Amino acid sequence: AVVATGYKADQKPPSLVQFGFDLETGKLSMTFSEPVKPGLFAMKTVTLQGKKDISNDNKPSKLLITRGTVVETATASMTVTVSLHAEHVVTIKSDTGMYSKLSDTYLSLEEGAVVDMAGLKVKPVLLSAALQASVHGEDKSRGSLQKYELDWAKRQLTLYFNEVVDVNTYQPGEMTIMSGKTKATSESYRLVGNSSVVGTADTATVVLQLSRADHVKLGEKAKLATSTKDTYIMMTAGTGDDVLQRDLLAITDGSGVQVSKVVPDVTPPKITQAVVDLDNEKITITFSEPIKKDSFKYRESTLQSDAKSVATTATRPLNETKGVAFSGARDVGTVTLST
């Protein structure tokens, strides 16, 4: 062996040479000027942005990477690949000002995002001088329902997709709620009562407000949508489009998707109005929500001379009522008593 007559340590910090992003897989690949330590890559040091300089923009298209997984397992590598969290991918797709094509795909990097084998910190890439991507992979997959929740208290369905949905195209009437995966062996109801999307912004999380008609019809079926065990969804490809105008994937009969959470309605109905019509000998009672027809016991109703307690007022039990009629059950819970 020959003895070295001199030694000079590595004093040149690594730099980011190029990067690429694949919108289909959600992977960000960064190539450096020399080997770095992937295991020491620091999240929250990389910003994805829609143009080279966003330093003076009031509302720039950008995303700070906070969640993801480094793919490389080797101690040293010229490349660091980060598989972004699904929520980050959805955020990117929701912002049309960034990462939709090569010309709006830029990246900035803080000093110390990663270090080389000598422990030297990577050079920063400033927000005002971001690096443009050398590769941009397009999104080629159609959107599909990942999970959903039913909230009876709010009368809402919350649906989570893996693509950003164009809410103007969403048609709740193309969806069917079933008690099992297969319609033929289940109780079912198609949402034909004009339920509507909450909000107008395109989103991957679609919230449907159930109309009174759909709410009542679902509630009338005792073995449907009462828990996670009897709540499944089927939907056609005509339910809606993503922001690239591609049909959402259908959920076919026999492959119904089970609900992930059902929130029960624990708030009892209240009387919102009571009208006594002595000329026609009728009392009309309106409730805050639809009630079951066979649950109303009119003989347990009492007329009082004022709003004080029964013990101190003149009362008359309705024990001689001739009949009960229900009206407007899909709009309001209204009961008319014929006295």
User: Does residue 108 contact residue 126 with C-beta atoms inside 8 Å?
Assistant: yes
What percent of the chain is modeled with pLDDT above 90? Answer: 65
User: Does residue 24 contact residue 142 with C-beta atoms inside 8 Å?
Assistant: no
Range in 146-160, 242-256, 285-299, 323-337 the model is least confident about: 323-337
The tokens 């499944």 sit on which residue?
A: 232
User: Does residue 21 contact residue 133 with C-beta atoms inside 8 Å?
Assistant: yes
Q: What angle do CA 54, 56, 61 make, to 5 degrees?
A: 35
- Tokens representing 202? 């395109």
User: Does residue 86 contact residue 92 with C-beta atoms inside 8 Å?
Assistant: no
pLDDT tens digits for range 97-148: 999 999 999 999 999 999 999 999 999 999 999 999 999 999 888 899 999 9
Mean pLDDT of 223-238: 96
At 3 the pLDDT is: 72
Backbone angles phi and psi of 311, in degrees to 5: -65, -25
Q: In sequence order, what are the residues at sequence separation of 6 or more whose Cβ sits closer than 8 angstroms to the Cβ of residue 324?
A: 296, 298, 335, 336, 337, 338
3-state helix, strand, coil in the chain (%, to 5): 15, 35, 50
Residue type, 135: V
Confidence of residue 299 (pLDDT cuts 50, 70, 90): confident
Range in 66-75, 224-233, 326-335 the model is least confident about: 326-335
Burial of 256 from C-beta contacts in 10 A (0-12 / 13-18 / 19+): buried
Mean pLDDT of 283-308: 75
At 311 the pLDDT is: 44
The tokens 């019509």 sit on which residue?
A: 277
At 313 the pLDDT is: 42
User: Does pLDDT of 155 surpass 90?
Assistant: yes
User: Does residue 122 contact residue 109 with C-beta atoms inside 8 Å?
Assistant: yes
How many whole angstroms separate alpha carbon 324 and alpha carbon 284? 10
At 310 the pLDDT is: 46
Confidence of residue 322 (pLDDT cuts 50, 70, 90): very low
DSSP-assigned letter for residue 129 = G
Cα–Cα nearest to 150, from 159, 142, 141: 159
Confidence of residue 331 (pLDDT cuts 50, 70, 90): very low
User: Does pLDDT of 158 surpass 60?
Assistant: yes
How many whole angstroms separate alpha carbon 235 and alpha carbon 279? 52
Q: In sequence order, what are the residues at sequence separation of 6 or more whose Cβ sits closer than 8 angstroms to the Cβ of residue 100?
A: none
Burial of 251 from C-beta contacts in 10 A (0-12 / 13-18 / 19+): buried
Burial of 7 from C-beta contacts in 10 A (0-12 / 13-18 / 19+): exposed
Range in 85-99, 185-199, 271-285, 319-333 the model is least confident about: 319-333
How many whole angstroms separate alpha carbon 27 and alpha carbon 77? 17
Residue type, 257: V
Q: How far is CA 325 from CA 80, 123, 322, 337, in A?
A: 72, 78, 10, 7
User: Does pLDDT of 81 surpass 60?
Assistant: yes
User: Does pLDDT of 242 surpass 80?
Assistant: yes
Q: How far is CA 70 from CA 34, 79, 88, in A?
A: 18, 10, 15
User: Does pLDDT of 4 surpass 90?
Assistant: no
Does residue 72 or residue 336 have the better pLDDT?
72
Cα–Cα nearest to 112, from 47, 29, 42, 63: 42
pLDDT tens digits for range 19-57: 999 999 999 999 999 999 999 999 999 999 999 999 999
Query: Rounded to a whole number, what is the largest CA-CA distance in the chain?
Result: 119
